[in-house]
Amino acid sequence: MFMNAKTLGLACLAGLLACGDDPVDELPASASAAVTQYAEVVHASYASSLETARTLDAALEAFVADPTEANLTAAKEAWIAARRPYLQTEVFRFYDGPIDGADGDPEGLINAWPMDEQTVDYVEGSPDAGRINDESFEITADNLTAANGEGGEADVAAGWHPIEFLLWGQDLTEPSMMMPGQRPVSDYVDAANAERRKEYLTTLGDLLVTHLEQLEAAWAPGATYRADFVAAEPEESLQKILTGMIVLSGFETAGERLQAALDAGEQEEEHSCFSDNTHEDMLYDVIGVQNVWKGTFGATTGTGIETVVRDLDGDLADELDARIQTSVDLAMALQAPFDLEIQPGNTEGNARVQALIDSLRTQEMLLSEVFIELGFTVPDPE
């Protein structure tokens, strides 16, 4: 249904790590502490994401119970707020972990993208499109889970982006108007299939909470996956940590989400195209990498990957620390809406996006140098 994240991550690393310097004879003593702290950061991140998703779920319930402009605005604000901690968890992908390690793991049900919105609800020119308008389709959590990816990777039936679409609707305005989608409240009052639309939206909110509960539980103190991750040889866990940092920095954010959008110059290529929140998607993904580097998330602090690298190669640690901060600064410099930044002819906006791409590619290569210096090799994806 969706590309296996482990296979994807290993393929990306194989191209980056074709050659390198001789590896160290043994890991720095800080490696074990960094692995333990990483597990703390992962759990704190998912716990925060779960808390804000529950707030979003409650806002969706309040909106469908009383569909007013004020409640729609509150639901949109809750969606944006809940995205921020979730995006910081994307660095925990690409290495066969609880988020995307096997069939049935929830990443494709949480954050699949791009989305063909006409599989969910009406779009311009197709008023009867989508499962909402197909009264033969019973809207249940099980059915939405089964439908996810049924018609191909863009057939996204569940997760952040269907919720986004049902709150904002299609973004049909010109980027220069600087407006997101303008779904009317009447879609939930007296429009065709308003009750089914309500049911779909609240079912999506419940599913999102369920899947984040699964991830928070997998990384909770005493959980089997977390215990095994911390108890494994530090080399094994460090390799996973670095894989997530490298692939998110380069292939996923710089490539799939930024370069592809800049090359196309089209609204539909941006990550959160209905809400015009893509600039925050980029920022919080990059902050997620910095969290792992520093060993922090909110009040959770400890030994980060930076300490391991500093014990290994102080100059490389300095270079990486500065580069990651540069990437954060460049992501913060992106201007909303992102679809205007990528428009052909917007020289300044295009330059801001390209500068972030270039920085993330440098970040990817520096992290790959760490991978090589530690003596890690890309395992067989089979």
**Residue whose tokens read 């779960």:** 50
Q: Is 11 helix (H, G, I), strand (E, B) or coil?
A: helix
Q: What is the pLDDT of residue 104?
A: 75
Q: Low-confidence residues of the chain, pLDDT below 50?
A: 1-3, 19-20, 379-382
Which DSSP category does 118 fall into?
A: G
- Give the residue among 58, 45, 50 at the shortest CA–CA distance from 82: 50
pLDDT computed for residue 268 by the predictor: 83
| DSSP secondary structure letters along 57-92 | HHHHHHHHHS--HHHHHHHHHHHHHHHHHHHTTGGG
This prediction has a pTM of 0.94
- 115 close to 166: Cβ distance less than 8 angstroms: no
Which tens digits make up the pLDDT trace of 45-68? Answer: 999 999 999 999 999 999 999 999
Q: Which residues contact 369 (CB under 8 A, 6 or more apart)?
A: 20, 21, 316
Domain 5-373 has CATH 1.20.1420.20: yes
Domain definitions of the chain by residue range: 5-373
CA separation for the pair 187, 193 (Å, rounded): 8
**Dihedral (CA of 123, 128, 130, 133) sign:** positive
| Three-class HEC string of 342-357 | CCCCCHHHHHHHHHHH
| Residues 260-271: tens digit of each pLDDT | 999 999 988 899
